[in-house]
Structure 1
C-alpha cells in the first residue's frame, strides 16, 4: 500500500536536537592518569580498562554523563583500595580476576540513577527554553517556530492531540517523531489499529476520542519525567504507591480532590475556594487575603519544587491538615481558623514537600501547575 508524502501535514526534514552532552572532552581514566576522548575513543578506553586495570564497566553505553560517572569513581578510588569497594569476578578460562562496575553495587546504582536524572532534567530544561525549534505541524500546513512545549501546545489547542502535560515531557523531538511515524503508517496512536486511508483514521480518532497516546503502552514511558524521578519506579508504581497511601488515611479520599483543584476554567486558591481566570489575580488574592506572596516564597525554588509545593498544599488543605505544622482538624472552617490564628499560611521546610509523591501524576488535574511559569515577578 502506497502512503502519500503529505499524510497529516507537509513532509519536511527536521533539524536534530541541539542539546549535546560533554562526552567529547578529554576524560581521565578512573585508575590512572591516561586521558581519553570518550565520544571518539570509547572502545580504546574500555580496552585500556580491561588490559591495564582488569576492570569492566557493565552497560556503559547506557550510562548518562559518563565523564561524571568516571570522575566519581576516580575520586572514590583515590584513597581506597579497589578490592575493598568493587566486587571481583572470574570471566575467562584462565582464572584471572576482574573487577566489575555494575548496578549490582549499591553505590554504582545510585550514581547511575543520579546522573541519569540530572541528564533528563538538563534535556528538559533545554527543551523548555530553546526557542529555535522549527517543525511543520503534523496536521496542518503551519510551520511552527518556538519552544517544544509551545509546539505540543499547538497540537493540543488546534488539533486536540493530547501528548500529556508539557511540563512533564522530555525528549519531545523523539516523541513527536514516533507519533508522526504511527500516523504516516495509518496507525491510531491510542489503540494502534491500522486503517486503509487517512480519512478513515482521522474519523476513527475523532469519534473514539483516540487523539491521545495510550498510557498502557510502555513505549511512551521514556518521554515523561515522572518515570525518572525514582530508581526502578515508573508512574504506574508511584501511582499504586500513592493509591495505597490514600486508602490507608482518614477522610473522604481523592474522589473529592478535583473539587479543590479547578472551578470550570478558573484556577483555585491554594488555601480557600476563591477562583480566578488569571493566575496573577489569584496570586494577588493569596497575598491580600492570606498574607501568602507566592512569588516571594518560591523565589529560590525551581519549577519542579514549585509543582511539588502546590500539590503538597492542595493535598493537605483537602485533608483538613495544616500545610505548615501538619495538625489535623475536623473540618475546613476549623483548619482555616487555625491557619489565621497561628499565621500558618506559610510553606514548611523544603524536605517536607520536595518528595516524588508530590510531583506530577497523582494530582495532574491541578490547573495551577499549568500556569506557574505565567506568574509575573
Structure 2
C-alpha cells in the first residue's frame, strides 16, 4: 500500500514535458547534469534529462519548457552548485508519504527569476537580430499590410500615410515587442495603462486634431559636433570630412545592436565633455574638441568599452541617427 502511495506521489510530482516541446529554445549541444558528470543533448533527450535529475538527484525544474536557452540556465546553476551545496540555495519539499525531499527550482527564488528573465530577453534580442538580417521576407506595411517589392517605395508609403508603427490592435505582433519581455507577466498594454499622461481623449476629432499637421524631416545631428542634416548619408560624409571619422568603416564588423550602443556611448561621452576614445574629461566642449582634433581621437575605443547593456538606451530622446542606421550607405 505504501508502495502504491509512493508511486502516485511520484507521478503527480515528477517532471512534466509538453508534447510540443519548444525545440527552438534548445541548443543542439551536450549539457552536463546539474550535480554529476552525465551529459545530455537537451534538444534530443530533454525528457531523459528531466527524468535523470528527478530520479537521481530529486530535482524538479518548474516550467522548464518556457526557459529560453536551457543550456545556459543549467550551466549557470551547475557552477553555482560547485561552490555552494544545493541545500543552501534551492528550497525543498518533503512528502509525508515517502519522507523524500525534492528540490524545486522555480522563479519563486529571486536569483532563478532574474536568470530566466535575462535569458528570455537575450533570446528575444538574438531573434530580432536574426530577423533583421533575414532576406527571405515580404516587404509589407506593418499598419495596412500592403506589399511592396522595393524597400524605398515601402518607406515612402509609410511616411506619406503616417504608417510608421504597427497596428496596435493586431495581437500577432505582441511576441515581437521587447517591452513584453522587460517586466515578467506584463504586456505592453498593461504597462501603457500605468501612465496615461500622453493619452489623447477619444472625443477629439482626428481630422481636426491633425488638420494643421506639417511633417518635418528628421534632423540628424553629428556625433561629435552640432552640425545637422536631414540625410543620414550627408551627415556621415560631414563626419568623415570634418572629423576624419568614417562611420561605415569603423562599424563594418559590428552588428546592429553594437552600432546602437556605440552611438549612445559616443553621445553620452560628448555630452559630458569626455573623450569617447580615452575617456579624458574636459571643462568645456571647446577644450574637448581641441583634444579630439590634436590627438586624432575621432575613433572608437575597444568593443568592451561600449558594448554594455546600459547603452541600449538612447542618450537623447528621438535620436534620428539611431533609427536610420540601416540607411547608411557604404562609401
- The answer to whether the superposition gives a TM-score over 0.5 is yes
Does structure 1 retain, via aligned residues, the 8 Å contact 2:220–2:228?
Answer: yes
- C-alpha separation in 2, matches of 1:277 and 1:90: 63
Gaps of 5+ in 2: 1-22, 192-215
Choose from 93, 97, 111 the match for 2:96.
93
Deviation at 1:269, TM superposition (A): 1.4
How many pairs are equivalent?
A: 279
Alignment of 1:307 with 2:268, yes or no, is no
Task: Say which one has the larger Rg.
Answer: 2
What is the match of residue 333 of structure 1? 286
Does structure 1 retain, via aligned residues, the 8 Å contact 2:25–2:67?
Answer: no
Choose from 160, 163, 180 the match for 1:161.
163
Alignment of 1:55 with 2:59, yes or no, is yes
What SS does the aligned partner of 2:60 have?
strand
What SS does the aligned partner of 1:143 have?
coil
Does structure 2 retain, via aligned residues, the 8 Å contact 1:286–1:292?
Answer: yes
Alignment of 1:322 with 2:284, yes or no, is no
- C-alpha separation in 1, matches of 2:183 and 2:142: 33
Gaps of 5+ in 1: 1-18, 165-175, 183-218, 238-262
TM-score normalized by structure 2? 0.63
What is the match of residue 102 of structure 1? 106
Does structure 2 retain, via aligned residues, the 8 Å contact 1:322–1:335?
Answer: yes
Choose from 65, 68, 73 the match for 1:69.
73
Deviation at 1:36, TM superposition (A): 6.9
Does structure 2 retain, via aligned residues, the 8 Å contact 1:113–1:231?
Answer: yes
What is the match of residue 191 of structure 1? none
Pair 1:141–1:289, CA change in 2 (3 A): closer
- Relative CO higher for 1 or 2, CA cutoff 8 Å, sep ≥ 6? 1
Choose from 147, 155, 165 the match for 1:143.
147
What is the match of residue 359 of structure 1? 312
Does structure 2 retain, via aligned residues, the 8 Å contact 1:29–1:35?
Answer: yes
Does structure 1 retain, via aligned residues, the 8 Å contact 2:142–2:165?
Answer: no
- C-alpha separation in 2, matches of 1:118 and 1:335: 36
Alignment of 1:1-377 (within 5 A): 20-22=24-26, 30-31=34-35, 33=38, 35=40, 42=47, 46-73=50-77, 83=86, 86-94=89-97, 95-103=99-107, 108-109=112-113, 111-134=115-138, 142-144=146-148, 156-163=158-165, 179-180=169-170, 223-225=176-178, 264-324=217-277, 325-330=279-284, 332-361=285-314, 363-373=316-326, 374-376=328-330
Deviation at 1:67, TM superposition (A): 3.8
- C-alpha separation in 2, matches of 1:24 and 1:347: 36
- C-alpha separation in 1, matches of 2:144 and 2:185: 39
What SS does the aligned partner of 2:92 have?
strand
- C-alpha separation in 1, matches of 2:106 and 2:45: 23
Does structure 2 retain, via aligned residues, the 8 Å contact 1:226–1:361?
Answer: no
CA offsets 1:184-219 (integer angstroms, 9 cap, x no match): xxxxxxxxxxxxxxxxxxxxxxxxxxxxxxxxxxx9
TM-score normalized by structure 1? 0.57
- C-alpha separation in 2, matches of 1:154 and 1:284: 23
CA RMSD of aligned residues (A): 4.5
* More off after superposition, 351-360 vs 118-127: 351-360
Does structure 2 retain, via aligned residues, the 8 Å contact 1:230–1:356?
Answer: no
- C-alpha separation in 2, matches of 1:230 and 1:355: 20
